Structure 1
């Protein structure tokens, strides 16, 4: 039972509730995925494609990366899609998860009101940009939900020498889409994965104000369950194989081209 606030569950039967080789209903593959993969729309493409290819329905819960790892470690899901490398490495080293397979990447970007571009105009790296934001008198919307993006925020504020509990930082305990919407209403800055921002920028009135540099690299991985967790390891590995197949890589690499004019994610080897 899902009890996390702002959880989203999606099921894609696509006529494939029947297993490929027989007449019994296949149990859904349960996946916990970071909200950015959901909010960008990518999981809405990958889930049905995997179901069509495998005959296995998919049930998705969209949560922050830390929560996704917890759900996997306690056997509540069969696999997880996360983008919090430090927490992933810790979970793997401790045996709470059974495997970590990177499969795609994009980047984080600092976004804010287009009229505020001058605030960070002189910054040469993200640390300088965040120090400029801190001194600007404007607000910064923080996820505050222990997601991969939230963890990166904390790392970047620490690197910039700015306390993450500063009064100008507004913590919302919400998704990437919610953070972008609030930043638009408050004429504030926020850190977003590039895919979700481009997919949802619409009439937000926000623009990318700083980008580039290794500190903003954003790698997504599929996590497999540890043996003691009781998750469906075979199902998780089938999902990994699909994502790394030519068909899966093509879907990932082309996602966004038709809607925003550029790929939103890049497959990794």
Structure 2
């Protein structure tokens, strides 16, 4: 065993912390949910917050289960396409901004503007111009998810130690060699942080677009609107949990990829 390898005791302790902590919080949240449903709400008001077992029962019942599975696939597909488009745009802009200061100065205010776009206000405009199907929903996802996919890679590209740049200068490296062999590897940990943030935002964008378009292929957003209008509280909360699960899975997937790809040499991803 290498000296740097953690002992079995420490590995066991780490597993307890990773699993035990979230489990304790889950139990507390569930207990609080039950307390609100049974101790705070009167029986005739319990439809406002059905207890967890009723939500789970509604989620696995027919036809809700089939509707949730189909809508979850529509939302997941939209979010993944939007995330892919946002990643491609963000990577190109981050590289351009890192390579030329005038490009950064020209684009940075508009990158910041992405954070302040009132997405709920412009969704109807997007629907008017691009329709209400997949393309329009992807545009909403891109607008919502693009900011961290520009800012995080940009910080990584520009955050290389000056002494490493000096070594590349001594070696007579070209601008492209410096980019691919020095700046891009340095930016990879930041890229995965951006992907983790943007993945959840893309799911939110898919649901928001679906909800406010109110037509087209049925995703979780449109399903939430329908359950809400029918006062199907348990089914509506089941759809909310399905949306949360998609976001959590996306976050974990990119976290696992980050640890797999850069965890060997990145202190931030090595844990």
Please classify the TM superposition score into its range, dividing by the shorter chain length. Answer: under 0.3
Task: Select the structure of larger CA radius of gyration.
Answer: 2
Structure with more of its chain in helix, by fraction: 2
Normalising by structure 1, we get a TM-score of 0.27
Normalising by structure 2, we get a TM-score of 0.27
